[in-house]
Amino acid sequence: MTTKADAITALVTGASAGMGAEFSRQLAQDGHHLILVARDEGRLRAEAEVLERDYSITAEVLPADLTTDAGVAAVVARLQDASRPVEVLVNNAGIGLLEPFEKNDVEDEKRHLRLHVQTPLELCHAALQGMLERGSGRIINVASVAAFANRGSYSAAKAWQVSFSRWANLAYAGRGVKVTAVCPGFVHTEFHQRMSMDKRAIPGFLWLNAENVVREGLEDNTNGKGISVPSKRYKLLTAIMRFVPAKFTSGPARRRLE
């Protein structure tokens, strides 16, 4: 457990709900001060108040839309502030697109790509400068088991996160920085409701609890693993996917909530 005297700061994107909120809670529980990043300032402030009250840490609120240049620039500036170093970066912000690639508006696809690839790249680059100088740091990129399947641009974006994190962990571990791609399966959060997906289309055994996913991801990052696949069932499924023809890994049928 980190003591208040030696507490370090973690920045979490997509912190207002779901896995981002859970990462924030568990990091606060371990004594980390926090920088909470998301678009909804009201939700961030409410969350910050609870975390400060419950865990006696400080929680800074940084409202930002990470699909925009201005939003990313604000977070980059905070990561590069050497007077207030950030020791842990959690790139968690994400969105999903329900329709097949050809039916989605191209602007939506561009925002999707920006949020899942370009933004994590920019934030990792900004965070690494100080981390490498200090000789310590931790980066978690929240990817997905979809990275090992074939599910359109979402799988492609998450595959980039996995490949980049695996390489970065090998490249920077010797200099004190651990980088991990956490690859959960279906997790009970707001993510699927926001994309109007009918969760009943997914078998019950495939759903995971956010608390367990985050705990395992943090442990794997602490232990220096480049890739983390939470839960035994998904470890098995991802192992099987390596040998299954691509046409069988396109995911379960999508259904829109009416």
Joined together, the tokens standing for residue 133 give 């100088």
Q: Which residues are catalytically annotated?
A: 154
Where does the chain show beta strands of DSSP type E?
A: 9-13, 33-38, 59-63, 88-91, 137-142, 177-182, 186-187, 207-208, 227-228
3-state secondary structure of 138: strand
- HSE-CB at 171 with a 13 A cutoff on CA atoms is 10
Residues 36/59, Cβ–Cβ less than 8 Å? yes
Q: What CA dihedral angle connects 64, 67, 72 and 73, to 10 degrees?
A: -100
- HSE-CB at 220 with a 13 A cutoff on CA atoms is 25
Among the listed residues 108, 119, 113, the one whose alpha carbon sits nearest the alpha carbon of residue 66: 119
